[in-house]
Amino acid sequence: MRTPARPRLLPIAAALALALTGAALAGCSSTSSGSSGQAADKPAKLTVWIMKDSLTDGYLQRFKADYEAGHPGTTLDIQIQEWDGIGQKVTSALASKDAPDVIEVGNTQVAQYAASGGVHDLSDKTAELNGKDWIPGLAEPGKIDGKQYGIPWYAANRVVIYNKDLFAQAGITAPPKTRDEWIADTQKLNSGGNDGIYLAGQTWYALAGFVWDEGGDLAVKGSDGKWKGALDTPQAQAGIGFYKQLQALGKGPKDADEAKPPQAEVFAQGHTAQLISTPGGANAIIKANPALKDKLGFFPIPGKSADKPGAVFTGGSDLVIPESSKHQAAAYEVVKALTGDKWQTEMAKEMSYVPNRTSLASALAGNDGAVAMAAGAVNGHATPNSPNWAAVEANNPIKQYMTQVLTGTDPATAGKTTSDAITKALNSTS
Amino acid sequence: MSTAPPPARTRVWPYLLVAPTVVGAAYLLVYPLLRNLLISIQHFRMAELIHGGAPFVGLDNYTALLGDPEFWTVVRRTLAWTAVNTALITGLGTLIALMLVRLGRRMRLAVMSALVLTWATPVIAATTIFQWLFQSRFGVVNWTLDQLGLHQFHDYAWFAHDGSTFVILVTLIVWQSVPFAALTLYGGLTTIPGELYESARLDGAGPWQTFRLVTFPMLRPLFALVTSLEVIWTFKCFAQIWVVSQGGPNGATTTLPVYAFQIAQSLHKYDLGSAASMLTVLILIAALVTTLRRMYRQEGEETP
Amino acid sequence: MTATALRRLRRAPLNLAALAVLVTSAFPVYWMVITAFKPTTEIQSDTPTFLPLHPTLDHFATAVSAPGFGTYWRNSLYVTLGAVLLALAVALLAAFAVGRMRWHGRRAFILLVFIAQMAPWEALLIPMYVIARDTDMLDSLSMLTLVYFMTTLPFTIVTLRGFLAAVPAELEEAALVDGCTRPQAFRRITFPLLAPGLLSTSLFGFITAWNEFAFANTLIIKNQDARTLPVWLSSFANVFGTDWGATMAAASLFMLPVLIVFLFLQNKVTTGMTAGAVKG
């Protein structure tokens, strides 16, 4: 019986050495061979990444047709991206040699991409794009060190979409103005096989609104510049308490967010009285069930008192052009068209989004959803202003916190763990 | 039974024959591993991924990881996860294999077909099926439990709780892995000569003794192989956990591979993720070092 | 008569256990298929039905007509077949060297092959991405094929070596004595005997590659037409929403090729595994 000792390692070492030389060789040969790539100036096929449900298929088709007609030789390949795992995807794209040419990026996430250096600096175009008039909530996150990387595209905040028929059946004539009325109405609606409201357990920005209503926040920045998660505060506990009360008035799953299953499709089945969504969500509902076209109404999320609507998260998107796009000049033309008067106005009408410039706000006149949204926007809030916030969303501890509390965990205990996780994520170096 | 030394010409052959394997592994396994090692001693975040020029930071990433209590929680959880799964898989696999030998021909064929069916189910499909089985509203599991009188399971949200998510994932892994263990061990059992059992019976050995004195020693290498493969597979298991729970709820199902993926892909801390994955490899090798040594010895003893 | 009855009675617990295993094993797959054939009203019913009372093909139609399904299905098939064939060819050579020849470094090679089985592939996503990017192999199915080839190679070598061990070396030697060269002897004698083993080994590679998700998700970025089925299927909820019928239909279609391959190779698989395992 020989004991394993040094001599036995020899062959392993030899094999490793062999492998290493092989690796070096393989590495050399393949890097040197790879020098392809089209000419950068030739107008060609532009790839545009748009987030799922940002825009209707119809809008995108019209834009594509119109743009291609106006720019002969250019074709647009518009690809719809899922929110799930988008951070990883966009990063991989920015780091690749042949990135998509235009990418839609959420306003809470644009800062980190701008900071990464993978996004083309568009500062010299701001004048041409009427940058002075941009909505600050979209322009600021896209700007780093005085340079504009993200171009504001649209803003939106959540409202309540309701089914007029079900409201009428329940004898509710006017939408609720306060939380108490809201709960009372929803209780009335939640009967006879109908859901008072479809609220998934992990709709975290709705929770954020309720917490802001109580005077709390998701995280606060201390005087020392360090962030601290704030879901363990009494305000946060009051916020989740209300969420729990509301969520129980329907059959929303406690362990999923609004995308699984897509809440618009649930609502489209016609047995759900209310839904928290951007007004544009109505498009998805109508697509799934055209019969509901004239049955949808909108009202701002009720606040604690009638004089002030509920706090809402001001969401929205910027457009960026990756540094590694092979057609940056052509890509800019697409950005210009999408953020220009014509398509902004059309978008405002179709999606009820707030246009990227205040001067275009008139486009929303006479739009029920937009009116409700504008009413709520008065009390708009943003997520904690840190480039690390995207990291919190990427592996969102707030969602898990919500599920835990909704299924019976003590809010104080769950809030403490979650706040610690947020603290850790926000204070880490990037 | 040694033969005369082969002529010099044939001495080149084995190296030529393994050359494609070595080259392939060098480019697609060793080289990425080295790149991974390199990343783990650099400051390599989103900006460095995009632009390159990552500075070296020595062992900072490793110290950061090892000093993080969360890392150790994950390690302990991974070991528990591996132990539970492997024990269940080999245990159930053995029982089913022993059962198969004793079954009538038709019943055996039926059970084996069912096992093969399970085995053939692709991971992503299996994961989806389990999500549907345990779906809170229309899932058949909740319905069955409710019918059996366990009414607390009416609309029960399985994926909302640490414990139940863990249980579902273990069930999923065991369900998918048992067929391999059972069929392999069954194959081994059929190679054991019947006379051995006969003499054991004549000596008055009970079923347990027979297993301990005849079956197990005969199949020891097979048991070792199945166990170590299951250890590797469950330890590394990623897709199922990621698709079902993404490591949640509240990190309850975050095992090392999931942890490394989260840090790297969700938080863009590629350097820490690489360090975590290098540590994963080390832990796995350490856990299997006895198996590896035994294998190495065996290879020395037998002539090819 | 009574003796048989008695024997049956004694065997009852055993058969009951067998039945339990059978049901547990098969039920999830059965439930997938049955759901795929049920009309939506029956799927979303508070009392589930266990038999296809009103079978429908609607969900299959939905799944097949979902945008990209055909392309992704075909991509998956190309990548998988490519990886499996490549792995078989390369592994066969290595298995022969390991199983039939004595050479310096053989043991180390075997050990490394076993260690290679432990490779944490998901951890190599980033370096692999970087390598693919730097060699202009992003968005390409050939890169995926290469990666899958490598992930399946170690296991293929181990298994093939087991099959090879089951073919008596004496046959080959006899052929050598008859004047065959070594490759000739291998081609004429060993290879035909090994063929069933090759087939069943390919099965494992097939399943692994057909299933793979993480690399397909990372290495295919801009070229959506190069995506594979698992990536598309992993976002079932995004594709089909609440439509569990279509989801299960898609999962069934996803499983189909594996099942077909399995049905053809099934009886060889277990014997091969045993051979490979006992030896290895």
- pLDDT at residue A12, as a whole number: 39
Rg from Cα positions in chain B: 24
- pLDDT at residue C21, as a whole number: 93
- pLDDT at residue A28, as a whole number: 35
CA distance B156 to B168: 13
Closest partner residue to A92 (CB to CB) among C129, C137, C241 is C129
Is 90 exceeded by the pLDDT of residue C263? no
Closest partner residue to B27 (CB to CB) among A23, A85, A430 is A23
Closest partner residue to B13 (CB to CB) among C101, C115, C255 is C101
- pLDDT at residue A37, as a whole number: 37
Which of A98-102, A269-273, B1-5, C45-49 has the weakest average pLDDT? B1-5
Ordered structural domains, chain B, with CATH: 70-301 (1.10.3720.10)
Q: How far is CA B145 from CA B134, B258, C51, C93, in A?
A: 11, 31, 19, 54
- The closest alpha carbon to B178, from B255, B242, B89, B252, belongs to B89
Which run of H or E residues covers position A175?
none
Residues 234-263 of B with CB under 8 A from C: 236, 238-239, 242-243, 257, 260-261
pLDDT tens digits for range C205-260: 888 888 888 888 889 888 888 888 888 776 665 566 667 888 888 888 888 888 88
Q: For C69-279, which CATH class?
A: mainly alpha
pLDDT tens digits for range A387-428: 788 888 877 889 889 988 998 888 998 899 899 989 988 887
- Distance (Å) from the alpha carbon of B205 to chain C's nearest alpha carbon: 19
List of chain C residues whose C-beta atoms are within 8 Å of the C-beta of residue B232: 117-118
- pLDDT at residue A2, as a whole number: 35
CA distance B96 to A34: 54
Peptide linkage before B249 cis (omega within 30 of 0): yes
Report the Cα B137 to chain-centroid distance in Å.
Answer: 32
Is 50 exceeded by the pLDDT of residue A40? no
Closest partner residue to C101 (CB to CB) among B138, B175, B304 is B304
Report yes or no: A261 at the C interface, CB cutoff 8 Å.
yes
Contact C124 B33 (CB under 8 A): yes
User: With contact defined as beta carbons under 8 Å apart, do B239 and B151 qualify?
Assistant: no
Q: What interface predicted TM-score (ipTM) does this complex get?
A: 0.81
pLDDT tens digits for range A316-368: 899 999 999 999 999 999 999 999 999 999 988 888 888 888 888 777 777 78
DSSP string, A298-358: EEPPPBSBTTBPPPEE-EEEEEE-BTT-S-HHHHHHHHHHHHSHHHHHHHHHHH-PEESBG
Write down the pTM of the prediction.
0.81
DSSP string, B163-186: HHHHHHHHHHHHHHHHHHHHHHHH
User: Ranked by mean pLDDT, which of A102-111, A363-372, B118-127, C191-200 comes out on top?
Assistant: A102-111
Helix (H, G, I), strand (E, B) or coil at A219: strand
Mean pLDDT over the full length of chain A: 83
List of chain C residues whose C-beta atoms are within 8 Å of the C-beta of residue A33: 135
pLDDT tens digits for range A110-149: 888 888 889 999 999 999 998 888 887 788 888 888 899 9
User: With contact defined as beta carbons under 8 Å apart, do B175 and B258 qualify?
Assistant: no
Helix (H, G, I), strand (E, B) or coil at A77: strand
Kindly compute the dihedral angle of the four CA atoms of residues A345, A350, A356, A359, in this order, to the nearest 10 degrees. 40
Domain ranges of chain C: 2-43, 69-279
- pLDDT at residue B40, as a whole number: 93
Closest residue of chain C to A325, computed from CA coordinates: C222
Return the half-sphere exposure (C-beta side, CA atoms, 13 A cut-off) of residue B149: 0
Q: For A159-313+385-427, which CATH class?
A: alpha beta
Interface of B with A (CB under 8 A): 22-23, 25-27, 30-31, 34, 45-47, 49-51, 136-137, 157-161, 246-250, 262, 265-269, 293, 296-297, 300
- pLDDT at residue B300, as a whole number: 63
CATH 3.40.190.10 positions along chain A are 45-156+315-377, 159-313+385-427
- pLDDT at residue A257, as a whole number: 82
CA distance B189 to B222: 10
Helix (H, G, I), strand (E, B) or coil at B42: strand
Question: What is the mean pLDDT of the segment spanning A230-234?
Answer: 92
Question: What is the percent of chain A where pLDDT is above 90?
Answer: 37
- pLDDT at residue A17, as a whole number: 40
- Could you tell me whether strands A75-81 and A296-299 are parallel, antiparallel, or unpaired per DSSP bridges? unpaired
Point out which residues pair with A308 in neighbouring strands: A305
Which of A37-41, A72-76, C80-84 has the weakest average pLDDT? A37-41
List of chain B residues whose C-beta atoms are within 8 Å of the C-beta of residue C214: 238-239, 242, 261
Looking at residue A252, the DSSP 8-state letter turns out to be -
Tokens standing for B201? 């019976």
Report yes or no: A72 at the C interface, CB cutoff 8 Å.
no
How many residue pairs from chains B and C have C-beta atoms closer than 8 A? 280
User: With contact defined as beta carbons under 8 Å apart, do A157 and A278 qualify?
Assistant: yes
- Chosen CATH of A45-156+315-377 out of 2.40.50.140, 3.40.50.2300, 1.20.1250.20, 3.40.190.10: 3.40.190.10
Which of A21-30, A320-329, C7-16 has the weakest average pLDDT? A21-30
Pick out chain B residues at pLDDT < 70: 1-10, 300-304
Report yes or no: A102 at the C interface, CB cutoff 8 Å.
no
Report yes or no: A22 at the C interface, CB cutoff 8 Å.
no
Closest partner residue to A99 (CB to CB) among C109, C135, C222 is C222
Report yes or no: C105 at the A interface, CB cutoff 8 Å.
yes
pLDDT tens digits for range C133-155: 999 988 899 999 999 999 999 98
- pLDDT at residue A25, as a whole number: 36
Closest partner residue to B125 (CB to CB) among C21, C147, C255 is C255
Top-confidence residue, C52 or B44: B44
